Amino acid sequence: MSRKSLFAPLALVALSMTPAALHAAEAAAASATVPALTYPDTARGDTVDPQFGVDVADPYRWLEDDVRVNPKVADWVAAQNKVTDAYLATLPGRDAFKKRMTELYNYERFGLPTKAGGRYFYTRNDGLQPQSVLYVREGLRGEGRVLIDPNLWAKDGATALAEWNPSEDGKYLLYSVQDGGTDWRIVRVKDVATGQDLSDEVRWVKFSALDWAKDGSGFYYSRFPEPKEGEAFQSLNENHAVYFHKLGTPQSADVLIHATPAKPKLNNSAIVTDDGKYLLVFGSEGTDARLGLTLYPVGTKGAGKPITLVDDFANNWEYVTNEGPLFTFVTNKGAPRERLVSMDIRRPGKLTELVAESENTLVGASRVGDRIILSYLGDAKSQAEMIALDGKRIAAIKLADIGSASGFGGKSSDPETFYSFSSYARPTTIYRLDTATGKSEIFAEPKLTFKPDDFTVEQRFYKSKDGTEVPMFVVMKKGLDRSKGSPTLLYGYGGFNVSMTPGFSPTRLAWVDKGGVLAIANLRGGGEYGKAWHDAGRLANKQNVFDDFIAAGEYLIAEGIAGKGQVAIEGGSNGGLLVGTVTNQRPDLFAAALPAVGVMDMLRFDRFTAGRYWVDDYGYPSKEADFRNLLSYSPYHNIKAGAAYPAVLVTTADTDDRVVPGHSFKYTAQLQHAKAGDKPHLIRVETRAGHGSGKPTDKIIAEAADKYAFAAKWTGLAVE
């Protein structure tokens, strides 16, 4: 039943009612016509795992199975979706959100260009295309032509163009295909002039850089062994190795360059240096920036004898450039907020400092011509400057506003680079920068269906439980009545050294456009203030992240930004864990919770696909101290039976092979079983989608409209 037909009688009196009264009337009408929720029956098993003297019950272990393998799990998903879909169809504002999000998405947008051999490669979306299209133009001012249109690959739009990289001369394009949201990639090669694919195809690629040999004879990539039948979306990812593929040969002929069979948990990814003389392999066991570096001289006969540059796996190392044996890196060795150093590969242990650590966090560096561009975060906002190769400062790069800048890629032989800039109310604009002259100009600017000046962005600082000051961005529409609280969407992540910087989201802006407030908290565990900020929110310190998020909700209410019962919380992946945990710890504080693709079983996360990498942030469930810490906050294991929980809408996808959907399945089943209050506790499972990347535009809009209509219902946001 459509919203229009369900609430048509209210239209006659809407003009004489306040928005709050109208919302109350709509909610009353909805509750009067929709029967009480009846959740599907979910079988409970008797699985109990004794660990360190604790009997850990896991009654929904069977829900870990892949929906493609276990028909009972597939039936459970179908039954849950049926209940959820019926409920979501009754929500006031769902159609209005979908309409506004569609309008806000409907603008021409571009990706960062890459220059190769005089050709410029870039993505473009005309607005509502399911997937962005890859274009190429001859010269900077040339007319773009379509090179790859992934919208032709699948009727449902769920097959995406993922990573791509042109050869040095621009003759060939190396690109990868992502189907249904999976992390697995199929790698192919296209002749740029003809638009035809070569015969080359490489499979079972995941978490890989794709880089060409400088002579264009082939490319380097990383892959895992082919998984057993039926285990592609759940089995552990181990024995990652680097290969070289020569054009025109089958994958079976690919040359193994670098493998670590004695350390099967290492991830190994390789890039070719600026001068093409070396292959640099980065090894890491987890998600933390603790790397090993192995260097291979590259010659006409392939890779030579390896040179070990770093083998302690203790610090971050990001390659910037090299002049012969002198290599430049960004590192946090001796600098928690990172610094720029030089290393002579003939004496790897000795470092020369080029740019010292500063009060702002150095988050990236790239060489363009004879300059290096440094990117910084200052209180979660982007800053950038140019320096000479010896580290001497040349000039700051003026950015448009408070926001996020990214890009700045380039070559040592060319002074031209491109970067993007965006903020919460400003979509991405692409700029071209000449590092020789310092001149910057717009390369591509979107034509908008709204006015960015209609919105305000504030940065505030609040105190967490232990007194730590935490920054938070607050976005609202100008003219919003601030004399009383407004329904507020609070978003957080807090982990894996990931920084929550200002960025444009059409779906979240729709929430603000409809009169809600958006708050983004820069929680500990992120990278906003370097290694110390990250360390303060991981392992035994993980509770700090939850305390920071709870304190953000309390601050919003105390400051009158939101009223009591007006805060909805949202987070995805590690942020889904965040939402699940704080909902358990403070069910009284929040009106609605939106955990997406979350890590919900903290005792078994390391047993599936990429989960083993996350021990850097979470710890090892097999170690007693870590086990007890994980058990103390694991969302699945800490649901409070009989407590009055907020409304919860869990979202996940059947092809998520990053955080397998079993996490969300088990959490939802336990929440429904616990009878935790009379508000709805539902799960929405998307098909032919994964952890997030590659999802087509229409699915993004449909899911966001469902989530925000759900949040609006329970925070009291009147969506007209």
Task: Supply 338's token pair.
Answer: 């990172």
CA 16 to chain centre: 44
Nearest-Å Rg of the Cα atoms of the chain is: 26
Distance CA 52, CA 473 (A): 42
Give the Å distances, CA to CA, from 267 to 21, 69, 181, 260, 620.
56, 28, 21, 9, 18
User: Residue 664 region, left (φ>0) first, then alpha (ψ -120 to 50), else beta?
Assistant: alpha
- Both tokens of 66, joined, read 């892949």
Contact 171, 190 (CB under 8 A): no
Closest CA to 284 of 276, 294, 274: 294
Q: How buried is residue 646: exposed, middle or buried, by Cβ count under 10 Å (0-12/13-18/19+)? A: buried
DSSP 658-693: SS-THHHHHHHHHHHHTT--SS-EEEEEESS--SBT
CA atoms within 13 A on the CB side of 704: 25
Return the residue matching tokens 């899911």.
703
- Sign of the four-CA dihedral 132, 138, 142, 146: negative
Which three-class secondary structure state does DSSP give residue 537?
coil
573 is catalytic: yes
- For residue 181, give the nearest of 255, 225, 142, 131 by alpha carbon: 131
Which residue type occupies 283?
G
Structure tokens at 88: 């979501």
Contact 592, 710 (CB under 8 A): yes
Residue 28 main-chain phi, psi, to 5 deg: -65, -40
CB contact at 8 A, 176 and 185: yes
Tell me the C-alpha distance between 371 and 387, whole Å. 6
User: Amino acid identity of 277?
Assistant: K
**Listed residue (364, 370, 369) closest to 340, CA to CA:** 364
Tokens of 667: 């959490």
Question: From residue 22, how far is each of 99, 566, 705 by CA, in Å?
Answer: 20, 17, 20
Cα gap 71→479, rounded to integer Å:
53
The amino acid present at 611, given as its one-letter code, is G
Cβ-proximal residues to 357 (8 Å cutoff; 6+ apart), any chain: 334, 335, 336, 337, 338, 339
Catalytic hit among 573, 663, 664, 681: 573
- Do β-strands 592-596 and 567-572 pair in parallel, antiparallel, or remain unpaired? parallel
The answer to whether residue 258 is catalytic is no
Other CB atoms closer than 10 Å to residue 344's CB: what's the count?
Answer: 14
Q: Running DSSP on this structure, what letter comes out for residue 447?
A: P
* 598 and 659 Cβ atoms separated by less than 8 Å: yes
Taking the C-alpha atoms of residue 180 and residue 618, their distance in angstroms, rounded to an integer, is 28
User: Quick count: other Cβ atoms within 10 Å of Cβ 383?
Assistant: 17
Check: CB of residue 719 under 8 Å from CB of residue 182: no
Question: How many angstroms separate the Cα of 88 from the Cα of each of 37, 161, 479, 706?
Answer: 12, 31, 30, 6
Residue 120 CA to chain centroid, in angstroms? 27
Instruction: Give first-to-last CA distance, the chain, whole Å.
Output: 18
| Inter-CA distances, 610 with 234, 266, 659, 667, 691, Å | 9, 12, 8, 20, 12
The span from the CA of 663 to the CA of 245, in Å, is: 37
Question: Going by C-beta distance under 8 Å and a sequence separation of 6 or more, which residues neighbour residue 154?
Answer: 179
- Enumerate the active-site residues: 573, 691
